Structure 1
Amino acid sequence: MKIAIDCRMYNSSGIGTYIREILPYMIETENEFLLIGKKSELEEYENLMNIEIQECDIPIFSPKEVFFFPIKKINKCDIFYTPNYNIPGGIKVPIYSTIHDVIFLDMPELTSKLGGLIRKIFYKRAYYLSKTIFTVSNFSKKRIEYHLGNKKDIVITYNGVSKHILEDDGAVYKKKDYIIFVGNIKKHKGLKTLLLAYKEAKKEGLTSGLVIVGNQNNFKTKDSEIIEILEKSEDEGIIFTGYVNNKELKKLIAEAKVLVQPSLYEGFGIPPLEALVLGTSIVVSDIEVFKEIYNNLDIEFFEVNNWKKLKELLKMNERIKSCSNLKNKQIRFTYKECSEKIKRKIFNG
């Protein structure tokens, strides 16, 4: 067989991480692959015998993607796989896709009415065109079925722990007195809840700093409520890291006392899993997917949006459940297993 894989998001965060992690396992077969994306990003695969790369930099979710995608080579393949719910137009071979979540259907307030309508069209189009849909949790599967229907074959693959977190780089990490938040600036990540909790906890004696992985200017220009909180918290130990590479992020998570993931919504939620591997204690909101992924592990939950409860947990961070390092234990979620589930379905039908 020859499988075409959309790799245009290879160097992005989120879905880019997903495709970078599964791709090495996906190509570990005797099958041939057509990788669609920028050759400069996919150069490590360029000289492999079973790989052909098709140069393409057409933006995702664009009219050009739907109406003018270079499909000639794709339609000579046996299968097309995309790691997202954007599907180019004109593809005649069976399509398999991963829909990580349907957040814009569950939380329409995250975008404009027009933006929500466009996303809804793309969600429905992906559902209609896909022979099989992969998703990353039972929660996401239920939400896909609720919004789009239950007529399709939906396979739960889960996400995994990235290679750079798992590999032994010989580094020695020493715990430091700070709390860490890893996430983007979107409202569903719950940063407002964390900032309110942290600000009040500092007033009541918390000594720990707060490290937010990201750029402060990005946060300030995107969310007026966060702007107001930050402007009143100038001297309260909040540090924005700016961009960090994988090595730096691993160190930041490993040396933190506590990782807090106060999300309002997730399809999976990877940072707590990485913290578990690195031996960092964890506090997460009690949203459904976190209960699914983390319920039987050493982890503290607080009621979603309840900054007062989170404040109390931060104040007693010395007594938060001690997280045992999972690195040398069996890890339930891996990208290898994720890839194997995708391959089994694609190759065996």
Structure 2
Amino acid sequence: MRIGFDAKRAFFNNTGLGNYSRNTIRQLTICFPENEYLLYVPKKKIRVEFDYGVARTIFPESFTGKCFPSYWRSFLINSQLYSDNPHIYHGLSNELPFGIDKMNCKKIVTIHDLIFIRYPELYKPIDRKMYLKKFSNAARVADIVIAVSQQTKRDLVEFLKVPEDKIRVVYQGCNPVFYQECPSEILEKARTEYDLPKEFILYVGTIEERKNLLLAIKALNEGHVKVPLVAIGRKTDYFQQIEAYLSGCSAEFKRQIIFIDNLPNEMLRAFYKLAKVFVYPSVFEGFGIPILEALASGTPVITSKGSCFSEAGGPGSLYVDPKNPVEMADALKAVLGSEDQRKTMICEGLKYASDFTDEKVAVNMMTVYQEVTGIKNNVSFD
């Protein structure tokens, strides 16, 4: 089978859609190396290196394509697809080229979420308009729309009127490094290099309004939880709200909140392993990969009620109202105050995370490819 991917995010985004794209490509090339994988990349000067195995990269060749990479990705790529003749073209990040409906290949798009429709106030009007045009086009011309959660599937049906029988839910996995034991020297390096406290609560994610980190900070302060919070992620304008809140707190409490920029996965897994509990108070997500990373690392999770969070967190996580700092504080006290509860949550989390391994995710994706093309691969793993 010859499978083409929109690989822009794989080579240009460090987190989020980039992780999804890299993991999908890596999982498939490892588990099904007999296929031919074509990675369509709009620019040669890439930002993110990763091992894409047996796949090969394809860049714009025309003068126009080289000068206008976004235009190539959305329009000019069709002539390249006509030449390469893949059985499938898979848009990994919510988009398909305009005009691809005239191509003979099967079209698949992964749509991660419709947050720009659910929470329009978080986006600029021009961005909402652009997203709606791109998402709607992709959902319309695709033979199959892959949703990363049942929540996203429901939103696709409700907001974009995508027929249910056109949607397949394929959960994403996380980088296998989080399933592996972390060498003691890396744990020690993380603790000393970042001067980590002996015990701490961990948050991982962009520090933005939707992800609601301020709730966790309020829970610690107002609930008198004395364990420090380490927040890893890129800051946005929302950070000003956090600074404003902290300005009214005691100097002692301010020292309890530690902010760190994004880390490579090798170091990030050490933070998960060292943390006593992971908090993810987001209001809404397409799936919530950091939750799965924490579970796979053997870290108990406290996250939000509703949205897709129970799909990512499973039965062993605790769920709180993302608008209620008292609930968050009570959940933190319950986990931090009972080693037996922590151990139970860790065991249940590891068991749940085992359903999201590379092999299982790759098999689920390949099953969709088989369905849409009629071409069979061996999809059995021990």
- Is the shorter-chain TM-score for this pair beyond 0.5, marking a shared fold? yes
DSSP 3-state at the match of 2:58: strand
Unaligned runs of 5+ in 2: 189-196, 373-382
CA change 1:73–1:150 in 2 (3 A) is closer
| Worse-matched range after superposition: 12-21 or 332-341 | 332-341
State the TM-score, normalizing by the size of structure 1: 0.86
- 1:123 matched residue in structure 2: 135
When the two chains are superposed, the root-mean-square deviation of aligned CA atoms in Å is 2.8
Q: How does 1:324-339 map to 2 (within 5 A)?
A: 324-325=346-347, 327=350, 331-339=354-362
CA change 1:58–1:238 in 2 (3 A) is farther
CA change 1:140–1:278 in 2 (3 A) is same
CA change 1:185–1:338 in 2 (3 A) is same
State the TM-score, normalizing by the size of structure 2: 0.79
CA distance in 1, matches of 2:69, 2:171: 24
Give 1:328 shift: 7.6
Give 1:64 shift: 5.3
CA change 1:63–1:230 in 2 (3 A) is farther
- 1:30 matched residue in structure 2: 34
Q: How does 1:148-167 map to 2 (within 5 A)?
A: 148-151=160-163, 153-167=166-180
- 2:319 matched residue in structure 1: 301
DSSP 3-state at the match of 2:77: coil
- 1:9 matched residue in structure 2: 9
CA deviation vs aligned residue, 1:20-54 (integer Å, no higher than 9, x gap): 112123232422221112566567447x4xx4321
CA change 1:210–1:32 in 2 (3 A) is same
More helix by share: 2
DSSP 3-state at the match of 2:295: helix
CA deviation vs aligned residue, 1:259-297 (integer Å, no higher than 9, x gap): 111010011112222222222222111123123343422
Q: How does 1:166-185 map to 2 (within 5 A)?
A: 166-171=179-184, 176-185=198-207
Q: How does 1:44-55 map to 2 (within 5 A)?
A: 44-45=51-52, 48=54, 51-55=55-59
CA distance in 2, matches of 1:59, 1:15: 24
DSSP 3-state at the match of 1:287: coil
Which among 69, 82, 94 is matched to residue 85 of structure 1? 94
Unaligned runs of 5+ in 1: none
- 2:274 matched residue in structure 1: 255
The aligned length equals 338
Aligned partner of 2:222: which letter? E
CA distance in 1, matches of 2:299, 2:68: 36
Q: How does 1:125-140 map to 2 (within 5 A)?
A: 125-140=137-152
Task: State whether structure 2 residue 133 is matched by structure 1 residue 111.
Answer: no
CA distance in 2, matches of 1:105, 1:77: 33
Identity of aligned residues (%): 25
Aligned partner of 1:111: which letter? Y
DSSP 3-state at the match of 1:272: helix
Task: State whether structure 2 residue 362 is matched by structure 1 residue 347.
Answer: no
Give 1:345 shift: 1.6
